[in-house]
A and B are shown apart, each in its own frame.
Chain A
Amino acid sequence: MVPRQVELAVEPVVPAPQTTPGQGERIARLLLTRSPLGSLVRRVAGIHASVHSKLLGAFFLIALLLIAMGAMSLRTITNVSRQSRLLDQARDRVDASRQIEHALGVQMNFTRNALILRDEATIESILRENNRFHDTLARLEGAARPGELETIQRIRAAQDQVMTTVAHVATLIRDGKHDEAMTVHLSEGYPLYREIATLVTRVVRTEEAGMGELRQNVESANHRALLLMGGFAAASIFLALVLGFVTSWSFILPVREAEAFLGRVAKGDFGATIDVPNRDEFGVLAGRMNEMSRELHHLYEAQRRLFGELEVRNRELGRSVEELRALGEVGQAVSSSLNLETVLTTIVARSVQLSTASGAGVIYEYDDVAQEFLLRATHGMDAALGEALQEAPIRLGEGALGQAGLTRAPVHVADILDERAVVLARVRPALVQSGYRSLLAVPLLLDQRIMGGLAVWRREPGPFDPAVVNVLQAFATQSVLAIQNARLFRELDAKSRELEAASRHKSAFLANMSHELRTPLNAILGFNEMILGDIYGDVPADLRVPLADIQSSGRHLLRLINNVLDLSKIEAGHMELTLGDYSAQDTVASVRTSLRALADDKGLEFVATVSEDIPVAYGDGGRVMQCLMNLAGNALKFTRQGRVAISVERHGHVLVYRVADTGIGMTPDRIESVFAEFRQGDAAITSEFGGTGLGLSISKKFVEMHGGRIWVESEPGKGSTFSFSIPLRLGEGSPA
């Protein structure tokens, strides 16, 4: 048998969906391997903090960046608004200067008007205008920058002079000194106006120049703010991206590692380890996975070890089964075949098969007298080797087999080529030529007595497996049994032939003796009957009784002879039923007629009841009558008073004959042996009632030959009822 292959079942692994890396993925990989980001990711992963904290940290950083960006923009806005304010102030100052210029013009105009019109109202207008001018100048002075103050003070001084001049002019006009007033105005007032105008124009110019500068400042401030904000935004985006990248990859990488690891485990790579730099939950997870993997690896190793052991056991078991099967086969051959050659051929064939793939084997039977091993069966033998072995028997102690016989133990020859090996010299060349290298010889022993030997040759050198030696020894035992069986069978066969011959002689003797006994008995009874029948003249009265006794004794002797003969024939198997139709009624009538005289002599009531519905029966009517005669005769013999009743009933296909008496009866232990040969109640009974004790056993045999049954119900002192059942028609219907 081929040892069954046991495979460790591994669940089929569903391959993880292979995603082809997209553009983003490729970039990410490039970044991870070629840029410092890779080490950053590992460093982040290595931070001893939970995933939650890391995410929180990343978001916090981004929030900080946003706050900083807000602060920066706030500062920029403040700066810009300050510049604007300065611009506004400058514009206000320009406006004031322009108003001063205007007021100066109006003042001069009014002064000219007063010179022409010479009325009071106009003069007052000049003074009012002069006051307003004064106010405006004060406003300008308040908003003026430090560098302008000198110019403004000069304007004020000129204005003061203008006021004095105007007041003088006004007084002159009121006084009607118009020409003088004109002269004053032209000589004093006008130049003052010109001076003021020049000063104001200077202020305006200065302010305008300042405004241009301010405008430039605002513009550059705006530009700077734009740059700063852009930079901040870019930096924020960059930082957010980097943080996102680093954080997410510090999580993605361990997940990917875990996925790959689980994939390996699923494919059966137990004991694989996962290595992640993470010191967060992923790190813990990886640690657990490694533990699991180690555990799996241990389990797997244990399982594999078990599997290996199982396989070894399985192979051993297969071999044992094979051996058992071979033993069984051999055992069956031994028990089922009486042909020694068949059995030994089976044994040697199985021996060779169990020991080697391509070998040969022989079985020898030992001749005790000649002290030689004789070849009995071979297997796988080639012609040359066969001839070498047939050449001569192996003597005890000669070669491996002879040695095995001598030592009563198996003999190994690990290498036939070895000159020192115990190998029969005349066989060695043939063995070597046939390619055999090693041999095993096992003696066949029966209680340390040599019965033969079993030898197996192999083409491979080396010692034999102890298991094979054991099996071959078992085979040797079987071979011994087979040889023993065959010898016993030979003896038995001879004995049975003798017995058969003896039986034939016995039958012939019995037939002969029967004839030889009957012939004189015929003469004795015949002459006696003729004497009693007065053939030889009248017989004296006192001779009649002894003559009748001769007749009775002669009949008894005849019955004895008949019974012995019947029994012998039955035992030799020569008794055959003479089958034919017969009538149960006639049978009973004949028996009654034959025995009526005896019943009458003993004063017994002798009745017979036969069911009227019994049809013609089929069987050996003579033997049935003989049985009934025996039973009825016995009943009359053993009954001193009362009655003997014969009855026949039909139960379907069966007839039941009964003989009931009121005789001495039997105890239960006598009932048991009543149908055995040569048995009667006891010696006393024999002496009182006579008889051979064969009648019942012969009757039993005849009934059984009909397929029937005979039995008795009895009680000591009350009587016995003997019954037998036989088929109404032998060979038809159900058995009795």
Chain B
Amino acid sequence: MSVRTILHVEDNELNRKMIRDLLRRTAYRLIEAPDGEAGVAIARGERPDLILMDVQLPKISGIEATRRLRAEPATADIPIIAITSFALGGDEQRAKEAGASAYLAKPYSPFTLLGMIRALLPEE
């Protein structure tokens, strides 16, 4: 079985590093994007097996990016975990409406996230 690829779309370098550290010892391959537009572009090119999508992003929001990916057949079926900083009520609702498969609020426990990833995408 081939290596599973996870795309992490997140503008904050430290948070990206944290996920890099979390997944370093796993079998997942991690690719990253710093904003919504880049996220959508990379997802189109790389066709990852799972996307971790931050909601508050520069350029286009995670919600908009999710909507666009869902609109394209090539990326429509990729599981997406939406991560929000819970700034405004209804984030979870909007993420689900846009097509997110799961939802996680910041600050999250890295181990909880890992559990969710494993549930959606077995390592092997």
Interface residues of A (CB under 8 A from B): 510-512, 514-515, 518-523, 525-527, 529-530, 533, 535-536, 554, 558, 562, 565, 569, 574-576, 578
A511 contact set on B, CB distance < 8 A: 87-88
User: Contact at B22–A522, with CB atoms within 8 Å?
Assistant: no
Interface residues on B, range: 20 to 34
CB-CB nearest in chain B for A620:
B89
Report Cα–Cα, A27/B60, bound state, in Å. Answer: 132
**Contacts A515-B85, A518-B85, A558-B107 given: A530-B21 contact, CB under 8 Å?**
yes
Secondary structure class of chain B's binding surface, majority of residues:
loop
Report Cα–Cα, A510/B111, bound state, in Å. Answer: 28
Give which listed residue, A512, A521, A535, A575, contacts B107 with CB less than 8 A.
A521
**Contacts A518-B85, A576-B89 given: A530-B14 contact, CB under 8 Å?**
no
Distance in Å: Cβ of A286 to nearest Cβ of chain B: 106
CB-CB nearest in chain A for B89:
A576
Distance in Å: Cβ of B59 to nearest Cβ of chain A: 16
Report Cα–Cα, A29/B87, bound state, in Å. Answer: 122
Per-position 1/0 for B10-52, Cβ under 8 A of A: 0010110010011011000000000000000000000000000
User: Contact at A526–B15, with CB atoms within 8 Å?
Assistant: yes
CB-CB nearest in chain A for B19:
A526
Distance in Å: Cβ of B92 to nearest Cβ of chain A: 8
Distance in Å: Cβ of B36 to nearest Cβ of chain A: 15
B56 contact set on A, CB distance < 8 A: 515
Of the listed residues B15, B90, B92, B93, the one surrounded by the most CB atoms of chain A closer than 10 A to its CB is B15
User: Contact at A522–B107, with CB atoms within 8 Å?
Assistant: yes
**Could you list 26 examples of A-B contacts with CB < 8 Å?**
A510-B87, A511-B87, A512-B87, A514-B85, A515-B87, A518-B85, A518-B107, A519-B15, A521-B107, A522-B15, A525-B107, A526-B18, A526-B109, A526-B110, A527-B14, A527-B18, A527-B21, A529-B110, A530-B22, A533-B110, A535-B22, A535-B25, A554-B107, A565-B87, A569-B89, A578-B93
CB-CB nearest in chain B for A510:
B87
User: Contact at A519–B108, with CB atoms within 8 Å?
Assistant: no
Distance in Å: Cβ of A175 to nearest Cβ of chain B: 213
A562 contact set on B, CB distance < 8 A: 86
Report Cα–Cα, A525/B18, bound state, in Å. Answer: 10
B92 contact set on A, CB distance < 8 A: 578
**Contacts A519-B15, A535-B25 given: A526-B87 contact, CB under 8 Å?**
no
B25 contact set on A, CB distance < 8 A: 535
Report Cα–Cα, A525/B109, bound state, in Å. Answer: 8
User: Contact at A518–B111, with CB atoms within 8 Å?
Assistant: no
Report Cα–Cα, A525/B108, bound state, in Å. Answer: 8
CB-CB nearest in chain A for B93:
A578
| Pair count A-B, CB < 8 A | 74
B14 contact set on A, CB distance < 8 A: 520, 523, 527
CB-CB nearest in chain B for A530:
B110
User: Contact at A522–B106, with CB atoms within 8 Å?
Assistant: yes
Report Cα–Cα, A562/B86, bound state, in Å. Answer: 9
Per-position 1/0 for B91-109, Cβ under 8 A of A: 0110000000000001111
A522 contact set on B, CB distance < 8 A: 15, 18, 85, 106-108
Report Cα–Cα, A574/B87, bound state, in Å. Answer: 12
User: Contact at B107–A576, with CB atoms within 8 Å?
Assistant: no
CB-CB nearest in chain B for A577:
B89
Closest 9 CB pairs of A and B: A522-B107, A518-B85, A523-B14, A511-B87, A514-B87, A515-B85, A522-B106, A526-B18, A518-B106
User: Contact at B90–A523, with CB atoms within 8 Å?
Assistant: no
Of the listed residues A511, A512, A523, A574, the one surrounded by the most CB atoms of chain B closer than 10 A to its CB is A523
Per-position 1/0 for B40-79, Cβ under 8 A of A: 0000000000000000100000000000000000000000
Report Cα–Cα, A510/B86, bound state, in Å. Answer: 11
Report Cα–Cα, A732/B96, bound state, in Å. Answer: 27
A518 contact set on B, CB distance < 8 A: 85-87, 106-107
A554 contact set on B, CB distance < 8 A: 107
Given contacts A526-B107, A578-B90, 12 further A-B contacts (CB under 8 A): A515-B56, A518-B87, A518-B106, A518-B107, A519-B85, A519-B106, A522-B15, A526-B108, A526-B110, A535-B22, A565-B87, A576-B90
Report Cα–Cα, A302/B7, bound state, in Å. Answer: 110
B107 contact set on A, CB distance < 8 A: 518, 521-522, 525-526, 554, 558
Report Cα–Cα, A526/B25, bound state, in Å. Answer: 16
Distance in Å: Cβ of A534 to nearest Cβ of chain B: 10
**Contacts A530-B18, A530-B22 given: A575-B89 contact, CB under 8 Å?**
yes
B85 contact set on A, CB distance < 8 A: 514-515, 518-519, 522
Distance in Å: Cβ of A315 to nearest Cβ of chain B: 68
B111 contact set on A, CB distance < 8 A: 529, 533
Report Cα–Cα, A498/B90, bound state, in Å. Answer: 27
Distance in Å: Cβ of A265 to nearest Cβ of chain B: 94
**Contacts A515-B85, A569-B89 given: A523-B110 contact, CB under 8 Å?**
no
Report Cα–Cα, A575/B86, bound state, in Å. Answer: 13
User: Contact at B15–A529, with CB atoms within 8 Å?
Assistant: no
User: Contact at A523–B93, with CB atoms within 8 Å?
Assistant: no
User: Contact at A519–B86, with CB atoms within 8 Å?
Assistant: no
A523 contact set on B, CB distance < 8 A: 12, 14-15, 18
User: Contact at B21–A535, with CB atoms within 8 Å?
Assistant: yes
CB-CB nearest in chain A for B15:
A523
Of the listed residues B15, B88, B90, B92, the one surrounded by the most CB atoms of chain A closer than 10 A to its CB is B88
Report Cα–Cα, A507/B121, bound state, in Å. Answer: 38
B90 contact set on A, CB distance < 8 A: 576, 578
Distance in Å: Cβ of A698 to nearest Cβ of chain B: 13
Distance in Å: Cβ of B82 to nearest Cβ of chain A: 14
Report Cα–Cα, A571/B18, bound state, in Å. Answer: 35
Report Cα–Cα, A536/B88, bound state, in Å. Answer: 34
Report Cα–Cα, A518/B86, bound state, in Å. Answer: 9
CB-CB nearest in chain A for B10:
A519
Distance in Å: Cβ of A226 to nearest Cβ of chain B: 148
Distance in Å: Cβ of B43 to nearest Cβ of chain A: 22
A565 contact set on B, CB distance < 8 A: 87
A558 contact set on B, CB distance < 8 A: 107
Report Cα–Cα, A511/B89, bound state, in Å. Answer: 10
Report Cα–Cα, A40/B33, bound state, in Å. Answer: 147
Of the listed residues A526, A533, A535, A576, the one surrounded by the most CB atoms of chain B closer than 10 A to its CB is A526
Report Cα–Cα, A558/B106, bound state, in Å. Answer: 10
Report Cα–Cα, A510/B87, bound state, in Å. Answer: 8
A512 contact set on B, CB distance < 8 A: 87
Give which listed residue, B87, B88, B109, contacts A529 with CB less than 8 A.
B109
CB-CB nearest in chain B for A518:
B85
Distance in Å: Cβ of B118 to nearest Cβ of chain A: 15
Report Cα–Cα, A523/B13, bound state, in Å. Answer: 10
Report Cα–Cα, A569/B93, bound state, in Å. Answer: 18
Distance in Å: Cβ of A375 to nearest Cβ of chain B: 51
Of the listed residues B86, B89, B107, B111, the one surrounded by the most CB atoms of chain A closer than 10 A to its CB is B107
Of the listed residues B14, B92, B93, the one surrounded by the most CB atoms of chain A closer than 10 A to its CB is B14
CB-CB nearest in chain A for B112:
A529
Distance in Å: Cβ of A525 to nearest Cβ of chain B: 5
Report Cα–Cα, A529/B22, bound state, in Å. Answer: 10
CB-CB nearest in chain A for B56:
A515
Distance in Å: Cβ of B86 to nearest Cβ of chain A: 7
Distance in Å: Cβ of B76 to nearest Cβ of chain A: 27
Distance in Å: Cβ of A578 to nearest Cβ of chain B: 6
Of the listed residues B87, B89, B110, the one surrounded by the most CB atoms of chain A closer than 10 A to its CB is B87
CB-CB nearest in chain B for A555:
B107
Report Cα–Cα, A579/B15, bound state, in Å. Answer: 32
